[in-house]
Chain A
Amino acid sequence: MIWRRHGRHLKDGLLVSPFFALFAVFGVWPVLRSAWLSFTDYHATDDPVFIGLGNYAELFADERFMTALANTCAYMAWVSVISVLLGLALALAFGSDSPLHRAVRVAFFLPAVAGGVGAISAWKWLASSEAYGLFNSLRAALGLAPARFLGDPQWTLPVLVLVGVWSVLGYNLVIFVAGLRAIPKDLYQAAQLDGASPLNQFLHITLPNLRPTLAYVSLTGMIASFQVFYVPYLMFGAVDTLGGPLDSALMLVTYLFDRGFRHLDLGLASAAAWVLTLVLFGLTWLNLRLVGREGAR
């Protein structure tokens, strides 16, 4: 009787159980474990010892952590804003099916698939302070003195933002093109009949209809920017330093890596990871409130 009533559910449950088992072991358990470790003094070599909020207090008293938090917020803000605005502008300019527009979209999307260590090495080469660095060659052609793009704290954030925008712009462009194509054409036709200008069409048709896409792109962009690690690590890290000139390239995940794996302060690194998670939760909530709900309406 029970089998007849619940047999199908049991069978379905059995079929999906391998996924849930793996998800529980490799997804849920590490998250719960890191939450517990964030309240402990743990260095991998001995058992964790509960210390309450000690790690969180230490984190917020650490000048370096605050530097990393500020750097990450600044990086996230610049990359998110520029990549969303530029991605939208490019989608409006190159959103058709013409061969030229397709080629442009492919060119912008390439960094999303061809990034990694090789691309960062190329950026290092471009931004090098040596005479052959492309940026400095361009400056020289303009009669400007060479700049220390990789050795001056004033240039660190602009260089990182440039690489960050370059790496996500193509992705944003493609998502925005899809979002623009989903807007019904008859809305524009009706507006044109009513004599609406292109600017009014953009403000009153495109933007409101694009809000769910905007929410998605900005949210995923913010999350990815907040988790930035390998770009500053590869561009500014060295055998003896992690944060670049005057820690201007020190990001939250770089700090977490340094404390967790170099110093074996795994309890404190777990606390840093949870601060990162809470900040991301806050940003997600804010984003959904500002953009998502309006879009849904």
Chain B
Amino acid sequence: MHLALPKLALALLLATGLRQTQAAHLVIWMVGDDKTPRVMQPAVEAYRARHPGVTIEVRDVPWADAMTKYSAALASRRGPDLVTASSSYAIALGAKGALVDLAEAAPALAAELKQQANPGALAAISRADGRLFGAPFDMHVQLQYYRSDLLAQAPADWDGFIATVRSQLTQGRGFAQQWGNTSWLGFYPYLRQAGGTVYDAGCRRAVIDSPEAVRALSYYARLYRELNAPTDGWPDADGGLESGAYALMQSGTWLLSRMDMVHKGLVGKWAAAPLPAGPTGRRTAVLGGTVLAVTRFSPRRALALDFMRTLYQPEVTRRMAEAALAHGGMWLPSGRQDQIAALPLPHRDTLLAQLADAEGPPACPAWIRQDYLLTRAVQRVVLAGGDPQAELSRAAAVMNRALGAQP
């Protein structure tokens, strides 16, 4: 009996100690390469300055391994407290109950994001029912890149674009789309520029067979049928820009900081511009990137949310973006768009113009299961000469059947 009390005290002490250790250690998984965690370092330092007892471990997860690692972590109900993921994947994870709803768990942060985040990036992660399974973290957007020594300026609208590429083709130079070529992602900006959408506002019905969508796909198909654009999944468009095979191309903003480093022959010979405007006058581009989310099984949910609040403070976000620039990269904070204008970014005006008219993929839970249907419709038209109206109607019918089956 006399030994029982010290034993109990020791057990309590150990248990408390374990709880404290658990509470004071945050694990963050970031999709990307081994340089990706560097972006997070200023946020880690800022948080640790205020909370010296907290340790934060930031690990990179290669894109190719992300889904398997995340699934394994979810199945074991252990793993990271915070993760970054693409917005579509985060929507899917949220729908399965894997992520914390920020609108409920951190309403002040969610409200702040509504004020400060890039609207397109926020819309891509905001569900129609108001739930928010992650905060916009970083973003890329499609741009036009062109040879400034061959073209006076980039085409401003659809007709101008066709005319410019036709003129270049007579001189042996063509056009290539890189990011999203011949898939839903490559077609999506044209769809939005024509005024079409994939789903209705409540995500209850696919409206991909609208006249606007048909017009967009008819135009998109011309890039391949008339302008002979390559159909490879990821053509070497930047290499082709350097060799002169292409006078114009479309790709992501990551090239802004890399083009001169990778293609020495292009230094001083290229420029970037927003995408050509469609019939609505809009120059909408697809917004890619990641969101930051708290996992449902995190035992340190409060700490993780507190870290997020620190990360989205203006000075912390700015330091993160500056750290990326210092390492030769470019990190565009989609959660604090107000900070981008102050950064010494390459081609900043072009970038800001395009970011003002950019959208992520549809934030509907069904989208990640149905995106291949739109890709198939696009490819049937582009690669197999299908009729845009017929293919989009067929895709819409399949999508609506599945949506009708959902509760």
Instruction: Report which A residues bind B (CB closer than 8 A).
Output: 43-46, 64, 128-132, 148, 150-153, 236-247, 257, 260-264, 266
- Listed by A's residue number, 26 A-B pairs whose Cβ atoms lie within 8 Å are A44-B74, A46-B96, A129-B230, A129-B231, A129-B232, A130-B240, A130-B245, A151-B181, A151-B182, A151-B235, A151-B383, A152-B231, A239-B63, A239-B179, A244-B233, A246-B376, A246-B383, A257-B68, A260-B71, A261-B67, A261-B70, A262-B67, A262-B89, A262-B368, A264-B93, A264-B96
A46 with B376: CB separation less than 8 A? no
Total inter-chain residue pairs, C-beta < 8 Å: 106
**A243 neighbours in B (Cβ, 8 Å):** 372
B68 with A245: CB separation less than 8 A? no
A236 with B98: CB separation less than 8 A? no
- State how many angstroms separate the Cβ of A159 from the closest Cβ of chain B: 11
**B184 neighbours in A (Cβ, 8 Å):** 240
A240 with B185: CB separation less than 8 A? yes
Closest Cβ neighbor of B231 among chain A residues: A151
Q: How many B residues face the partner with a CB closer than 8 A?
A: 43
The distance in angstroms between the C-alpha atoms of A237 and B296, with both chains bound, is 30
Chain B interface helix/strand/loop/mixed: helix
**A44 neighbours in B (Cβ, 8 Å):** 71, 74-75, 96, 98
Closest Cβ neighbor of B234 among chain A residues: A238
B74 with A45: CB separation less than 8 A? yes
Given contacts A128-B235, A245-B379, A257-B68, 14 further A-B contacts (CB under 8 A): A44-B71, A45-B74, A45-B296, A64-B372, A151-B233, A153-B383, A243-B372, A245-B182, A245-B231, A245-B383, A247-B376, A262-B92, A264-B74, A266-B75
Given contacts A240-B185, A263-B369, contact A148 B67 (CB under 8 A): no
Chain A interface helix/strand/loop/mixed: loop
A128 partner, pick from B70, B232, B372, beta carbons under 8 A: B232
Asked whether B346 is an interface residue with its Cβ less than 8 Å from the other chain, the reply is: no
Asked whether B236 is an interface residue with its Cβ less than 8 Å from the other chain, the reply is: yes
B97 partner, pick from A46, A150, A262, beta carbons under 8 A: A46
B232 partner, pick from A151, A237, A266, beta carbons under 8 A: A151
**B354 neighbours in A (Cβ, 8 Å):** none
**B185 neighbours in A (Cβ, 8 Å):** 239-240
**B240 neighbours in A (Cβ, 8 Å):** 130
Residue of B63, B75, B179 with most partner-chain A CB within 10 A: B75
Flag B98-118 by CB within 8 Å of A: 1 or 0 each: 100000000000000000000
**A239 neighbours in B (Cβ, 8 Å):** 63, 179-180, 185, 288
**A247 neighbours in B (Cβ, 8 Å):** 372, 376
